[in-house]
Amino acid sequence: MRENVAVKRAPEHGAKSGAEDVVRAFIGSIDRGQRSDQPYRHWSLKECLPADTLDDIIALPFEAPSLEGVSGKRELHNNTRKYFDVDNRKRYPVCEAVAQAFQDKRVTSHIEKVFGTDLKGTYLRMEFAQDIDGFWLEPHSDLGVKLFTMLLYLSKDPSHSDLGTDIYGPDKRHAGRSHFAPNAAMIFVPADITFHGFEKRPIKGVRTSLIINYVTTEWRAREQLSFPEQPIA
């Protein structure tokens, strides 16, 4: 029998749905997900979070940073990136609820079972990404200290439907693009062929997404982690 781990509920003010609701919604979305094996194994999910949780994340009062004419890698703007880190978990109930859910044993065990990765000893990292016109990302694989990648799309602007993640083959030739829809996601386990990026194209407003990773102990920027003192059991 799988052990149930107690989950903190978010405070009543701010977030309407708590961590327990997020756990149920996300596990359900995994079970309904669709797998594709080309050009590498990845999954497409829908309805990943409760609807009010999605709205609460979108409403977070983080201003989209200026690119200052530079793009291609997210790390070029490390000083303006936002995370569901220790401080923001304390400040915003929705950050606490979502972080607690993805730290929960039921979620991590289901991720391991369905996606075929071992999360033991890893740490949860959740980045609130805000991309504006001029943004692009070169093809990269996430191979290394990331053992799980989930790109959860947030923004509801209808013009963002073509702003999904670009997918590349082993030769880094463009092979497809995920569909961008609010509360949908693309998931993969990083390997040496999991090339993905974002081809430069017009962005109206702000393209928002939540980038969810489980990273190894070699991750140096501990301040980015949701629970820097609590590895996944």
SS3 labels along 197-210: EECCCCCCCCEEEE
Separation between Cα atoms, residue 186 and residue 115, nearest integer Å: 12
Average pLDDT over every residue of 106-124: 98
CATH 2.60.120.620 fits 19-63+71-223, yes or no: yes
Residue given tokens 């200052």 in the structure block:
68
Q: What is the pLDDT of residue 79?
A: 65
Q: What is the pLDDT of residue 77?
A: 60
pTM of the shown model: 0.90
Q: Which residue has the higher pLDDT, 35 or 81?
A: 35
Q: Is the pLDDT of residue 175 over 60?
A: yes
- pLDDT band at residue 1 using 50, 70 and 90 as cut-offs: very low
Q: Are 226 and 86 in contact (CB under 8 A)?
A: yes
Tell me if the bond preceding 39 is cis, omega within 30° of 0: yes
Separation between Cα atoms, residue 221 and residue 155, nearest integer Å: 27
